[in-house]
Amino acid sequence: MSEHATPATKRLSRRKRYKRLMVGLLIGGILALWIGIYFDRFLVGVLFYWGGFFGMLAVWRLSSVTLYDERDTAIERKASDYTITIFGFVFVLGAPGGIALEESGLVELPAAFGGAMWTLFAIYVVFGVVYTVLRRRS
């Protein structure tokens, strides 16, 4: 082994440490936001939240080790596929089903229903655009 090569076990432990630091910064930022909301100091909470988020990004981009490998990418791809499929069913069945139930007088939908359906619609529009661009590039 050369003088400059890092042993695999040391590299893995550094990767774990950096990942834990990233997650800790993000969780700390989220908790700070909630605490800020609880104490009616929303702006302070948001600033700490942003600090945690940008701290996480800094660790991710500036760390000296590769934090994510092919296995992580495959897991993220599978999780994204399942998530987009589940919410696709919710959107395709929920939007017309909710409207039909409301029109028939069986339920009264909350105002948030419309916002949720528009949000799902926007997610699928963005997904379609990104997918089309990536497909044309390859």
For the chain, what is the mean pLDDT? 90
**What are the DSSP calls for 56-80, one per residue?**
HHHHHHH-SS----HHHHHHHHHHH
Query: What pLDDT is attached to residue 63?
Result: 86
Q: What is the pTM of this model?
A: 0.65
Query: What pLDDT is attached to residue 65?
Result: 81
Residues 67-123: tens digit of each pLDDT: 888 998 999 999 999 999 999 999 999 899 999 999 999 999 998 999 999 999 999
